[in-house]
Amino acid sequence: MNSTNSRLLVFFLIAVAFSTQSLAQKDTGSIVGTVKDPSGAVVPNAQVTVKDIERGTTFVTHTSDSGEYVASTLKIGRYTVTVEHSGFKKAVSVPVDLDVQQRIAVNVTLQVGQAMESVEVGHRHGAAA
């Protein structure tokens, strides 16, 4: 294979890789948020489980040191967000509808209590994409 053919093959493979990646991202969205305690302090390392209600699949992550989480490349659908951390009641969001390329903010304030107890929380809709 000569040099020109090698370059064309490499260019073609790169183009295919980028087009496949961009196609995969077009029908997805993300859910983001910040987890805080009742005093307003952020809660690092809280477990966040984002559940696709219709498909039954879950995406599990943890909050960062700044109390933030990101669940991205989620298929469009209806989701709940559950947040758990020791010393706090489990918080479960109301279902949210995720649309194409949408970025929904579901911020959670944990309540002090036993993990066996749970609290339903609302969400703040409309974070910028």
Which tens digit of pLDDT belongs to each residue from 53-104? 999 999 999 999 999 999 999 999 999 999 999 999 999 999 999 999 999 9
Q: Which domain holds residue 36?
A: 28-121
- State the CATH number of the domain containing residue 46: 2.60.40.1120
What is the distance of C-alpha 85 from the center of its chain? 17
Q: Is residue 5 part of a domain?
A: no
d(CA 77, CA 52): 7
Q: Is residue 95 part of a domain?
A: yes
| Predicted confidence (pLDDT) at residue 19 exceeds the cutoff of 90 | no
Q: Is residue 18 part of a domain?
A: no
d(CA 115, CA 69): 20
pTM of the prediction?
0.72
Q: Is residue 2 part of a domain?
A: no
Rounded percentage of the chain residues whose pLDDT exceeds 70 = 69
Q: Is residue 111 part of a domain?
A: yes
- Tens digit of each residue's pLDDT (9 = 90 or more) over 117-127: 555 676 554 44
Q: Is residue 11 part of a domain?
A: no
Q: Is residue 90 part of a domain?
A: yes
Count of domains observed in the chain: 1
Q: Is residue 76 part of a domain?
A: yes
**DSSP states of the chain as a string?**
--HHHHHHHHHHHHHHHHHHHHHHHHTEEEEEEEEE-TTS-B-TT-EEEEEETTT--EEEEE--TTSEEEEEEEESEEEEEEEE-TTB-EEEEPPEEE-TT-EEE--EE--BS-TTSEEEE--B-----
